[in-house]
Structure 1
Amino acid sequence: MLKAVVLLLGFVGFSLQQRCYQSYKVECAKNDQTIEWKDFGNNSYALVKEQYWQQDAEKRCIELGGHLVSIHSKEENDFVHNLRNNNSVWIGRNKLNDPGKTGLTAGHYSWSDGTPDDLPVLWDKRQPNEPWSDCMFMANREDNFGEWSDYFCDQNPPVYYTPNPPYALCKKPKA
C-alpha cells in the first residue's frame, strides 16, 4: 500500500512538473540554461525558453532586468521574429494598463514597459478574433512571419494557434 501511494505521488509530481504550464497555476522550476542576450539598436533581447502565461513571462523578464519585448519598427519586428527561432513568444503588448477596463470594455493596447504605442498592430491574418483577449503573442505556425495574435493573459493558446505554449522574449536597454 505504501509503495502504491509513493508511486502515485511520484507520478502526480512528474505530471505537474511536465505540465505546469498547461493546466495548473503552479510555480515552475526555472531552467538552468544560460540566457543569451542579442543586441539590436540600443537594446538587448533574450529568448527565455521557459513557458509561462503572459503576466508571469513579464515578471520573469523583470527579474532579468527588462520587460517583455516592445516593438517599435518593422525592422525590430523582423529581428524579434528571427530571434524567436520558430517558437511562440509572448510580446509585451496588452490591455492590462487600463485599470478596470479589460476585454470588450478595454480602451487600447499598450506596452508593458511603458514605451510609446507608435507602431500599428501587426495582426496575423486570422486576428483579432478573441474579443475578451487582453494579451498578444507571436504564434509558431508555418504561415506566421512575425504577425501578432491576441489571447487571454492567464491561459496558454490552444494547439490550433501554436503547438507549444509561448516562451518569454525579453528586452532591456543595452548595457
Structure 2
Amino acid sequence: MLKAVVLLLLGFVGFSLQQKCYQSYKVECAKNDQTIEWKDFGNNSYALVKEQYWQQDAEKRCIELGGHLVSIHSKEENDFVHNLRNNNSVWIGRNKLNDPGKTGLTAGHYSWSDGTPDDLPVLWDKRQPNEPWSDCMFMANREDNFGEWSDYFCDQNPPVYYTPNPPYALCKKPKA
C-alpha cells in the first residue's frame, strides 16, 4: 500500500513538473543538451528538441542551441523535416510577429524567424489556413499530414488531438 502511494505521488509530481515545464516555467525544466541529436541535410544541421514550448519560447530554445526554429526553402528540405519530426507536432519558424506592416489581427505577412528569404510558397495543410487571427505555424501530427503546415496562435496550445501539446521545437543551424 505504501509503495502504491509513493508511486502515485511521484507520478503526480512528475506530471506537475511537466505541466509547469511547457507553461513557460523553464527553471523547473531539465535541459539536457547532450541528448539532442543533430542530423545533417545540405549545408545545415537539424534537431528535434523533445521539450514542449509555445512558439516564441521554442525559438529562444533553438537560439540557445546555436540556431533558430527551422526555416524551409525547398520541397526536399520540407520532406526531410517531416521525416525528422517522427510524427510529432513541431513548431516551424514561420510567423507574422515581426511584420511592421501588420495593422490588424488578420493582416500581416509571414516570414522566417531566422531572417532567411521567404522563397517557398506556403505548404498549407488542406484544411488550412483556418485561424485568421493566428500568427504562427506548425506541422501537425495527423495521419493524413505529410509535412503540410498549419496556422495557430503563438502562445496557446493547439487542439488536444495534436501531440505533443504544445508542440516540440525543430531547430536548424549551419552545419559545423
TM-score (normalised: structure 1) = 0.84
Sequence identity percentage: 99
The Cα shift of 1:41 comes to 0.5
1:156 aligned to 2:157?
yes
Deviations 1:112-149 (A, max 9, x none): 00000000000011110001110000001111100000
The Cα shift of 1:15 comes to 1.7
Aligned alpha-carbon RMSD (Å): 3.7
The match for 1:57 is: 58
The Cα shift of 1:109 comes to 0.1
Q: Is contact 1:53–1:154 with CA below 8 Å preserved after alignment? A: yes
Whole-Å separation in 2 of the counterparts to 1:106 and 1:36:
37
Stretch deviating more after TM superposition (15-24 or 4-13): 4-13
Stretch deviating more after TM superposition (30-39 or 88-97): 30-39
Q: Is contact 1:136–1:149 with CA below 8 Å preserved after alignment? A: yes
Q: Secondary structure at the match of 2:31?
A: coil
The Cα shift of 1:76 comes to 0.2
Which ranges in structure 1 are unaligned for 5 or more consecutive residues? none
Q: Is contact 1:138–1:146 with CA below 8 Å preserved after alignment? A: yes
The Cα shift of 1:160 comes to 3.4
The Cα shift of 1:104 comes to 2.9
| Runs of 4+ that moved beyond 6 A | 1-10, 23-26
Stretch deviating more after TM superposition (94-103 or 62-71): 94-103
Stretch deviating more after TM superposition (9-18 or 61-70): 9-18
The Cα shift of 1:34 comes to 1.3
Q: Is contact 1:103–1:134 with CA below 8 Å preserved after alignment? A: no
Q: Is contact 1:94–1:135 with CA below 8 Å preserved after alignment? A: yes
The Cα shift of 1:12 comes to 7.1
Q: Number of residues paired by the alignment?
A: 175
Relative to structure 1, is the Cα distance of residues 26 and 154 closer, same or farther in structure 2, using a 3 angstrom cutoff?
A: farther
Whole-Å separation in 2 of the counterparts to 1:141 and 1:103:
30
Q: Is contact 1:16–1:24 with CA below 8 Å preserved after alignment? A: no
Q: Secondary structure at the match of 2:82?
A: helix
The Cα shift of 1:11 comes to 5.7
The Cα shift of 1:159 comes to 1.3
The Cα shift of 1:48 comes to 0.5
Which ranges in structure 2 are unaligned for 5 or more consecutive residues? none
Q: Secondary structure at the match of 2:105?
A: helix
The Cα shift of 1:28 comes to 3.2
Stretch deviating more after TM superposition (88-97 or 164-173): 164-173
The Cα shift of 1:156 comes to 1.5
Relative to structure 1, is the Cα distance of residues 31 and 108 closer, same or farther in structure 2, using a 3 angstrom cutoff?
A: same
Q: Is contact 1:87–1:167 with CA below 8 Å preserved after alignment? A: yes
Deviations 1:94-124 (A, max 9, x none): 0011147276343200000000000000001
Relative to structure 1, is the Cα distance of residues 81 and 112 closer, same or farther in structure 2, using a 3 angstrom cutoff?
A: same
Stretch deviating more after TM superposition (103-112 or 88-97): 103-112
